[in-house]
């Protein structure tokens, strides 16, 4: 017999965070939607960076002879650099936007806190 114990205890801070999401969705759905879109965009950019890194590592691992003579590798590195710079810019912009969103969300924290106490 195998027994699994699941702890369904809700902490006050966890409940407050859940209520904050609900309050913001009701009061400022645009803000919560931007936060969700931002999360998806950041994940996609990180996935693209990982794909580029894997591609470069694969090309380096399978390269034969002098890697400076491998035009496909050099072109891939150049394209990867351009893409990485663009993604880095988007990530910095996303970080700033995330800070703005979190600041706006914090204005509703007192409502969520009060709800969690009830």
Q: What are the start-end ranges of the E strands in 1-118?
A: none
CA distance 103 to 1: 50
Q: What is the pLDDT of residues 44-103, one digit of tens each?
A: 988 988 998 998 899 888 888 888 888 888 888 898 899 889 888 888 888 888 888 888
Q: What is the pLDDT of residue 59?
A: 86
The pTM of the full predicted model, rounded to 2 decimals, is 0.65
Calpha distance 61→72 (Å, rounded):
13
Residue 47: what pLDDT?
Answer: 92
Structure tokens at 111: 């409502």
Give, in order, the Cα–Cα distances in Å from 98 to each of 35, 45, 72. Answer: 7, 15, 37
End-to-end CA distance of the chain: 40
Return the pLDDT at 31. 83
């Amino acid at each position: 017999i195998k027994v699994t114990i699941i702890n369904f205890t809700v902490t006050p801070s966890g409940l407050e965070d859940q209520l904050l999401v609900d309050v913001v969705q009701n009061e400022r759905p645009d803000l919560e939607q931007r936060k969700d879109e931002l999360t998806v965009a950041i994940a996609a950019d990180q996935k693209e960076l990982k794909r580029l890194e894997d591609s470069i590592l694969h090309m380096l691992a399978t390269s034969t002879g002098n890697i400076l003579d491998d035009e496909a590798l050099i072109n891939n590195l150049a394209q990867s650099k351009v893409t990485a710079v663009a993604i880095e810019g988007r990530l910095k912009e996303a970080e700033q936007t995330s800070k703005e969103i979190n600041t706006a969300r914090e204005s509703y924290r007192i409502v969520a806190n009060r709800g969690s106490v009830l």
